[in-house]
Amino acid sequence: MQVKEGAAKRKPLKVEVFDALHESILAGRYEAGDWLRQEEISHRLGVSMTPVREALDLLVSSGLAERVAYRGVRVLRMSSPDILDSYELRLLLEAAAARKAAEAISAEQLSGLRALLADEAELTRRGDLPRQREVSRSLHAGIVSASGNLLLHRIYLDVLKTFPDWMLYEHLYRHPELLVESVRQEHQEHEGIVDALENNAPELAMRRAVEHVLQRGRELETYLGIPRHALELREAQIQHLIPGTRSLTAIADKETI
């Protein structure tokens, strides 16, 4: 893919480079742990080093890459315990945030979430996966922001960076036969959470948020090989911290397709 500096009219050049690298990572052209060399990227995309450096910063902030002191930037590489830690925290934080958001969400925030849902509904092709990932993350962050708890929002954004959603999207990129049903289901789950927020139904919003994250957990098992017993152990350890829900494992089994 070639990015021309003079042709970037609609987006800043650093965003054009970020988009190109984002798609390359989701397509598996870069794998976990691969180094992202500024010189190679600059030459391949036909741009100067400055937008490449800025694009690498965007990759790090979006959770796709990590900066290693004195060595550079590489595609994020996570161990199974790291992934499980992130999954456990997402369950706790998104349950709490959805419950509070159902009580505190403003009309403006709700309108923003509805706009993201409308955007997401159109993203059904393999080439849409980078944008699908961005919209999904924005929607989740918007729900947490609507809780009104600024500290919770900041902590959640840090946790979201550590969740390997890009690896799940990479699996869909390599298996396009799964794409339509997967994005349809994710959109339906997002819509269900936003409906509960609009109806000011805290318990329902919390339950639907939990069900949604549990579904991502089953994708971690199916797509990435994270052991089910490890996922279920983390779920059992925090069950008592999420009131109003029955067994998390039972919910996950119900939601698995």
Domains in the chain: ranges and CATH: 5-75 (1.10.10.10), 80-255 (1.20.120.530)
Beta carbons within 10 angstroms of residue 10's beta carbon: 7
Of 70-79, 100-109, 183-192, which range is least confident?
Answer: 70-79
Q: What is the 3-state secondary structure (H, E, C) of 129-143?
A: HHHHHHHHHHHHHHH
Mean pLDDT of 217-231: 95
pLDDT for position 8? 41
pLDDT beyond 80 at 213: yes
Asked if pLDDT for residue 2 goes beyond 90, the answer is no
Q: What is the pLDDT of residue 240?
A: 87
pLDDT (mean) for 110-122: 97
Q: Which residues, other chains included, contact 177 with Cβ-Cβ below 8 Å and sequence gap of 6+?
A: none
Q: Say if residue 11's pLDDT is above 70.
A: yes
Two tokens at 179? Answer: 């794409």
Looking at 2-106, list the stretches that DSSP marks H as alpha helix, in order from N- to C-terminal side: 13-26, 38-45, 49-61, 80-104
Q: What's the pLDDT band for 7 if we cut at 50, 70, 90? A: very low
- Per-residue confidence band for 257, with pLDDT thresholds at 50, 70 and 90: very low
Using one digit for the tens of pLDDT, what is the confidence trace for 153-203? 999 999 999 999 999 999 999 999 999 999 999 999 999 999 999 999 999
DSSP string, 233-251: HHHHHHGGGSTT---HHHH
Of 195, 218, 210, whose CA–CA distance to 245 is shortest? 210
The fraction of the chain above a pLDDT of 90, given in percent, is 83
The string of DSSP codes covering 178-240 is GHHHHHHHHHHHHHHHHHHHHTT-HHHHHHHHHHHHHHHHHHHHHHH---HHHHHHHHHHHGG
pLDDT (0 to 100) of residue 242: 86
> Would you say residue 253 has pLDDT above 70?
no
Closest C-alpha to 209, from 81, 102, 62, 110: 102
Per cent of the chain over pLDDT 70 is 90
Both structure tokens of 212: 């949604």
Task: Say which residue the tokens 């010189």 belong to.
Answer: 39
